[in-house]
Structure 1
Amino acid sequence: MATSSALGAAREVTLSAGRIRYHETGTGSPVVFVHGLLVNADLWRAVVPGLAAAGHRCLAPDWPLGAHSIPLPGADLTPTGLADLIAEFLDALDLVDVTLVANDTGGALTQILMTRRPERIARVVLAAVDCYEVFPPRPFAGLLRAATLPGAVRAATEALRLRLVQGLPIGFGWVAKHPVPQEIRDSYLLPSRHSAAIRADLRRFAAGVDNAATLAAAAKFGTVELPVLVVWPPEDKLFPMALAERLVRDLPRAKLVTVADSYTFLPEDQPELLTELIVEFTRLHAAP
């Protein structure tokens, strides 16, 4: 579960599938963050303070993607089910004029959401995300297939205790260019290591990952009226620049900005620059 005090006060909201833990700080137009697989709200710990200072209410949930602390045993954890869960979160807190900021797997869920339940969303930031055929990216495709096998998630989480394994492509080696602090690695990895119920959530998510969901969302991109900021690192090892360029071609109001010296985890590698880009984007597309 997320632990960084920079994220603000920890809160919980009860949704139809169970409780979601989130952090909140700041006031103003809401920014809701959507992280990816095997991370949690701590991913945004260096982005949230700057956005709050710029006049935003920042809400950073721990989505049930394997690094959360509250199991959701009855939840639909397919990509569409998770997109609906995010929509229900927005409804439950009565959020309007929302900026969604997504990274990695969270970007796939956000694309489904913005083509399925866009009514509370005003603008979207897609920062190095799964999309089109790349959901999940290699080398994680094989890992997710294996995760559905009995005992596989437990074995993987035990292996990730080793720093050597954490540095491999199946760990942090291909997602973060710069070192992730050990306490943050623990925040990401310990929940699935310590809780059988969290591992069960992770297995159910893994079983449902299918690029049919992202391709179906992409088929509706032409109808998306929201402004979209696509932020991409040219060095990304999982998501080639061709994907970013394709998103910008297909989304009618999308703009592409590249960020150097980063891999997929832009909020880890380049949080200050990502924050500046989000602030500029929200001001450019502020509600009248």
Structure 2
Amino acid sequence: MTTANLALDLPQGRLHYRDLGEGDPVVFVHGVLTNGDLWRNVVPRVAETHRVLAPELPLGAHSEAMDREADLSPPGLVRLLADFLDALDIDRATFVGVDTGGALCQLFLAAFPDRVERLVLGNCDAFDNFLPAPFRPLQYAARAPGVVSLFGRALGVDPLRRAVAATVARHHLSDVVADSYFGPVSRDAGVRRDLRKVLAGISAGYTVGAATRFETFERPVLLVWAPEDRLFPVAHAVRMRDLFPDARLELVADSRALIPEDRPDAFTDLLLGFLGEAPARAEAPDADPDADSPEPTRGPTAP
């Protein structure tokens, strides 16, 4: 299957994206310092039955900087996603998000609930955990000149790449993937400028506010969570499951935050099963909203 690499000129600048398959649209939303390559082992199977859209958001691993005046705050990024869908004449889609992308999906749902057909969240920022504690200093340091620029350039060095990757992925990233994620910010001043704007605009107030809308979203929600991840606690996934009227939680073992990197087959299996379900899951007689967290789906043990 051939990936279609395309670009759109939007009010914020040129947005690159991948467009695969035909059918009901599924939008994949990555997080900070990743890009569409995060989904490389997921989208081919999904594209067999759905139209897959994977925008390359300006979160530090993008190939082309946005316009200098672009609003890259969380609400601005939500507007960017809405403009992306508008440009493609897509009224409603299923959204799949992990990491910062999961937070953006929550904010998109709060702003445009009628445009979300279904929601799939992997380990991600939520409630008062935006950004998670190990990365929170960057959020505040981004408001000072030069800090993000220094950090971004330093990501051209392999030891720092490995250290950052190890916080979100249990398994080693290949050099090609690591360069896809960390190369743009280490080489391009415009990408570093965009990343600084993103980080400086982040506030837990956005995700706390979005969570107040969960109870009103009645369409199906799937939460795919790696309980071994220390950035995004599984307690937040349980809390989200209990807030959404029609949600279920699936646990995936042997992974850190980026399940599409560590356990892509497990993530894809759960996603495809969810997409193939009838819309009215909430009527299932054996559903137990008070049940404990499920046993995790297991894979090969990592060294």
**Class of the TM-score when normalised by the shorter of the 2 chains:** over 0.9
Query: Could you tell me which amino acid in structure 2 is paired with residue 271 of structure 1?
Result: P
Query: Could you tell me which amino acid in structure 2 is paired with residue 21 of structure 1?
Result: H
> Aligned to 1:24, which of 12, 19, 26?
19
Residue 145 in structure 1 maps to residue 140 in structure 2: yes
Deviating above 3 A after TM superposition, structure 1's stretches of 4 or more consecutive aligned residues are: none
Aligned-CA RMSD value? 1.5
Residue 38 and residue 7 in structure 1: after superposition, are their counterparts in 2 closer, same or farther (change >3 A)?
Answer: farther
Aligned partners of 1:179 and 1:16: how far apart in 2? 37
Structure 1: give runs of 5+ residues left out of the alignment.
1-5
User: Could you tell me which residue of structure 2 aligns to residue 201 of structure 1?
Assistant: 194
Aligned partners of 1:62 and 1:158: how far apart in 2? 20
> Aligned to 2:50, which of 44, 47, 56?
56
Three-state SS of the structure 2 residue aligned to 1:136 is coil
Aligned partners of 2:28 and 2:12: how far apart in 1? 19
- When normalised by structure 1's length, the TM-score is 0.93
Which residues of 2 match residues 1-288 of structure 1 at below 5 A? 8-53=3-48, 55-72=49-66, 73-168=68-163, 171-285=164-278
- More RCO (CA 8 Å, sep 6+): 1
Aligned partners of 1:71 and 1:58: how far apart in 2? 23
User: Relative to structure 2, which stretch is displaced further, 87-96 or 227-236?
Assistant: 87-96
Contact preservation (8 Å) 1:135, 1:214: yes
Aligned partners of 2:195 and 2:30: how far apart in 1? 14
* Percent identity of paired positions between Structure 1 and Structure 2: 45
Aligned partners of 2:89 and 2:115: how far apart in 1? 9
Query: Could you tell me which amino acid in structure 1 is paired with residue 50 of structure 2?
Result: H
Residue 7 and residue 23 in structure 1: after superposition, are their counterparts in 2 closer, same or farther (change >3 A)?
Answer: farther
Three-state SS of the structure 1 residue aligned to 2:98 is strand
Aligned partners of 2:65 and 2:156: how far apart in 1? 22
Number of equivalences: 279
Tell me the CA shift for residue 181 of structure 1: 0.9
Contact preservation (8 Å) 1:7, 1:45: no
Aligned partners of 1:23 and 1:161: how far apart in 2? 26
Aligned partners of 2:2 and 2:238: how far apart in 1? 32
Per-residue Cα deviation, 1:162-208 (whole angstroms, up to 9, x for no partner): 3322232xx11110000111111101111111111111111111111
